[in-house]
Amino acid sequence: MAAEAGRVDPMHQFAIEPLFGSANWQLAGYNIAFTNSALWMMIAALALWIFVAGGMKRALVPGRWQMAVETFTGFIDDMLATNVGKEGKKYVPYIFSLFMFILFANLLGLIPLPLAMVGVHAFTTTSHFTLTGVLAILSFSIVLVVGFWKHGLHFFSLFVPHGTPLPMVPLIFLVELFSFLVRPFSLGLRLFVAMMAGHVLLEILASFIIDSSNAGLGWGVLIGTPSFFLMLAICALEVLVAGIQAYVFALLTSLYINDAENLH
């Protein structure tokens, strides 16, 4: 949390900052600084790898770790079977990785303590549209590749619902095409806004607690105490939102894949 002249800037927590003296690193004329965002993406990916590796022992009597991994994979498998059908089985690794990476990235951003070894505070990578947008475009690209690979130009029939009157076809086609092209933007924007809004609210409540405590005992009790308990409630809600947003992203991706796989 940054403060200047007694003011708290709730947006400072989202600033991209180079680490380990990498601000001037260059490659072919481009700055390739290693940033806090890159660090926490790597931490999220490493946490996902450790989680999956720890659950791949295939013990006859599975332990808690293996059961946790199998529970999540079974959850994703059931979701794809429901939304895509038998063809959804081959997308389990991708949707599982997508869901778990977003979940870990969301939860890691809620860690309240800095990394003492390197002096880096927790950073929510999913609060930046650059990351959520890339994940959305990646998912959208899979839909396009699968759709045209399986159906060829017939994939365009997705934009003309069955039974549409012939005079309405051009208009409906344009509307449906625009709605389809907006999907990656809305998919990435939803996650980005949800994570940013929650963290901004937590920062504002924290500033209420600090400012009211500095103003005196009376203000600390009157303003700081309820703000503190409200912040605890918001923190608990943010943990829930972290899981919900990961699920929504994976669910919508599976629904988009269904459009490509099961063209009506």
User: What is the distance between the alpha carbons of residues 76 and 245, in angstroms, rounded to a whole number?
Assistant: 15
Quick check: 43 pLDDT over 60? Answer: yes
Buried b / exposed e along 131-152 (16+ C-beta atoms within 10 A): bbbebbeebbebbeebbeeeee
- The predicted pLDDT at position 98 comes to 93
Tokens of 238: 């943010």
- The predicted pLDDT at position 151 comes to 82
User: What is the distance between the alpha carbons of residues 75 and 9, in angstroms, rounded to a whole number?
Assistant: 40
- The predicted pLDDT at position 103 comes to 93
DSSP 198-245: HHHHHHHHHHHHHHHHHH-HHHIIIIIHHHHHHHHHHHHHHHHHHHHH
Prediction pTM value: 0.84
User: What is the distance between the alpha carbons of residues 125 and 39, in angstroms, rounded to a whole number?
Assistant: 9
Distances (CA, A) of 88 to 80, 123, 254: 5, 33, 8
Mean pLDDT of the chain: 81
With bands split at pLDDT 50, 70 and 90, how would you rate the model's confidence at 26?
confident
pLDDT digits (tens, 9 = 90+) for 130-189: 899 999 999 999 989 988 888 888 888 877 777 777 888 788 888 888 888 888 888 898
H/E stretch holding 40: helix 36-54
- The predicted pLDDT at position 105 comes to 92
Q: Which residue has tokens 């990235």?
A: 105
Q: Which residue has tokens 């809004």?
A: 197
Of 164, 190, 187, which is closest to residue 176 (Cα–Cα)? 164
For β-strands 26-27 and 30-31, DSSP reports them as antiparallel
Q: Find the mean pLDDT for residues 212-234.
A: 71
Tokens of 255: 């629904």
Share of the chain above pLDDT 90, in %: 20
Q: What value does the CA radius of gyration of the chain take, rounded to a whole number of Å?
A: 23
Are 192 and 128 spatial neighbours (Cβ–Cβ below 8 Å)?
A: yes
Are 92 and 77 spatial neighbours (Cβ–Cβ below 8 Å)?
A: yes
Asked which of 14-23, 103-112, 167-176, 247-256 is least confident by mean pLDDT, the reply is: 14-23
